[in-house]
Structure 1
Amino acid sequence: MDATDIPALVYTEDIRNPVPLLASEKNLQTITAEPWLQISEASLQLEGLCFDRASNLYLLEVFGGQIFKVMLPEKVITTIVGPNSLAPAAIKIHKDGRLFICSLGDFKSTGGLFAIQPDGSNREVILPDSLGYCIDDMVFDHKGGFYFTDFKGYSTNPTGGVYYVSPDFQEISPILNNLAVPNGIALSTDERVLWITETNANRLHRVELMEDGITIPPFGASIPYYFTGYLGPDSCCIDSDDNLYVAMYEQGRVLVFNKSGVPIGQILLPGREQGHMLRSTHPAFIPGTDQLIICSNDGAGGGGSWLYIARGFAKGKLGYQFQE
């Protein structure tokens, strides 16, 4: 038999793509975001997009520790916190205007949570590093308490978890345990569903909550979606229709799910087919609009660090931090 007669596998354009879309996701409604603002010519691990009442944007870089403010509509970038070793990972704004900063510390046991004023001054410790958490993300409820993810573990050592902190910041209650690097977290518009992305297990968790915000009813915690590919789901946010937007790290895209956890769309970043801008970490809506900002960096690709823009299915949900 001639070798040319033997059945052979062949590369196609889709297969050669460094981040090919799954067959089950390829037919989702798909759009490509547009460049919105370059933050740096260097590859900074951008995270923590958060808008204030005036629609100015705060964000940070994890490994260098800097916190930036982008004043809109002029898009003027200023640095409100200089380089440090705190490894910040997320920013949320308390209803009193303070910025709450999640800190990963040494990524093992020295993270915590601190608050600063919008100009970067008056640092206050909310949860000290002595508690041993590596806090990656958080979300407020209307009472002033908040949920946070403890960014620990790996695929075969699920030591991370999700916790709730009371409005007086004195009590910490476990919500989910035994997770492999829980990352992004979002709360539904009625506060009865908590979403968590579990990066190192490639899972999306949907957790129903009782009225107390802590108790899970029978059969209330589920995994509606398993992701595929390296590295996994990162930060997330919801819109006013309770759709969930999940950034996929090292995949250059955002997957969108309905309130039941069924995928209904995706937003791609330009250049991903050539292996560029794959480090998509966080989506956030410009308040009062359906315009979604997504941050990413190009790693060793030379493209720097950028914010991208696209439109979601609905307007973004204003966080409780904007309530008086």
Structure 2
Amino acid sequence: MRVIATGLDFPEGPVALRDGGVLLVEIRRGTLSRVSPDGEVSVVAELGGGPNGAAIGPDGAVYVCNNGGFEWHDRDGITAPGHQPADYIGGRIQRVTLDGEVTDLYTECDGRPLRGPNDLVFDAHGGFWFTDLGKSRERDNDTGALYYAKPDGSSIVEVAHPLVQPNGVGLSPDGTKVYVAETGPGRVWCWDVEGPGRLGERALLHGFAGHQLLDSLAVDGDGNVCVATLVTGAVSVIAPDGTLLRQVRVPDHDPFVTNICFVGADSRTAYVTSSGRGVLYELEWDSPGLDLEHSA
């Protein structure tokens, strides 16, 4: 792995750009930021709260899951998120243009406020699936859900509920399956996609042994589900049949390895966010990447 940038304030949601740069959020900083190929970091937009997963939409804008914010803790050089903070702004889906204009697209579904939107992925129909992990407090936690929404703000539906801390979400290369990682239970679920916002029965793809928590995920060109694995400090690679193939650890152990993204089908380059240490890594992946529905 090669270090691309350091000093990031809990980076997440990496999006590879065609010019060699990487868009990502800095959750603690509350920004959408851009890392240039030479590692220079610049702020694209101030989002507030806790910007989390990000993806390019069909209109070229960036769509961001904002979890509303965290309490923060610093322990032995590691930054760690905590409970719902006193200045929690509520969960929301935000649309961000590359010149910095921010719009709150969704803050509720059927009268129920979004609590802690976490990760999203666009499909071939132009809509997007997103998870709402919820928030934790000293004595209780929200139940989570999977949603489907349109990027023009016209439609949002709750598709699967309840889920336990749903975090990463991704689609198989042919778009026929959707995958969701649950953080605390350490499980990756799989559904057949029956249409935009419509799913078949849920099946367990893989359950992790021991104390391994899951974060965001991406699917590579071979259809492997590549899920960031907390505590272990790695990206775990799960085959489409549910077999755990390998775990790719970052060089400097970080219990908060949170996400991975790929440049595309014509490249083996991947980027990994080591959030607790504020590092963005670049590495050569064993398989080609996957072209997402939209890129910039």
Question: What's the offset of the Cα at 1:296?
Answer: 0.7
Unaligned runs of 5+ in 2: 70-83
- What RMSD over aligned residues (CA atoms) do the two structures have, in Å? 2.5
TM-score w.r.t. structure 2 length? Answer: 0.84
- Is the 8 Å Cα contact of residues 86 and 105 (structure 1) preserved in structure 2? yes
- Is the 8 Å Cα contact of residues 35 and 306 (structure 1) preserved in structure 2? no
Matched, 1:308 2:290: no
Residue by residue over 1:210-239, the C-alpha shift from the partner in whole angstroms, topping out at 9 and shown as x without a partner, is: 1x233333xx31112112344511000011
Within a 5 Å distance, the mapping from 1:109-188 to structure 2 comes to 110-120=90-100, 122-128=101-107, 131-133=112-114, 134-152=116-134, 159-166=143-150, 168-188=152-172
Given the alignment, which residue of 166, 186, 190 partners 1:202? Answer: 186
Unaligned runs of 5+ in 1: 1-33, 299-303
* Distance across 2 between alignment mates of 1:284 and 1:88: 17
Question: What's the offset of the Cα at 1:257?
Answer: 0.9
Given the alignment, which residue of 234, 250, 257 partners 1:280? Answer: 257
Given the alignment, which residue of 24, 41, 48 partners 1:59? Answer: 24
Residue by residue over 1:122-167, the C-alpha shift from the partner in whole angstroms, topping out at 9 and shown as x without a partner, is: 212211368511211111011111101011267x966101011146
Question: What's the offset of the Cα at 1:98?
Answer: 0.6
Matched, 1:50 2:15: yes
Farther-moved stretch of structure 1 (168-177 vs 241-250): 168-177
2:6 corresponds to which letter in structure 1?
A: I
* Distance across 1 between alignment mates of 2:151 and 2:35: 29
- Is the 8 Å Cα contact of residues 121 and 130 (structure 2) preserved in structure 1? yes
- Is the 8 Å Cα contact of residues 12 and 275 (structure 2) preserved in structure 1? no
Residue 75 of structure 1 corresponds to: 39
* Distance across 2 between alignment mates of 1:314 and 1:262: 16
TM-score w.r.t. structure 1 length? Answer: 0.77
* Distance across 2 between alignment mates of 1:265 and 1:311: 15
Residue 89 of structure 1 corresponds to: 52
Change (3 A) 1:197 1:124: same
* Distance across 2 between alignment mates of 1:93 and 1:158: 28
The structure richer in strand per residue is 2
Question: What's the offset of the Cα at 1:109?
Answer: 8.1
Farther-moved stretch of structure 1 (165-174 vs 198-207): 165-174
* Distance across 2 between alignment mates of 1:158 and 1:223: 22
* Distance across 1 between alignment mates of 2:175 and 2:183: 23
Change (3 A) 1:64 1:153: closer
Residue 242 of structure 1 corresponds to: 223
Q: For residue 291 of structure 2, give the secondary structure of its aligned residue in structure 1.
A: coil
Q: For residue 222 of structure 1, give the secondary structure of its aligned residue in structure 2.
A: strand
Rg: which structure is higher? Answer: 1
2:43 corresponds to which letter in structure 1?
A: T
* Distance across 1 between alignment mates of 2:135 and 2:23: 28
Q: For residue 125 of structure 1, give the secondary structure of its aligned residue in structure 2.
A: strand
The structure richer in helix per residue is 1
Residue 257 of structure 1 corresponds to: 238
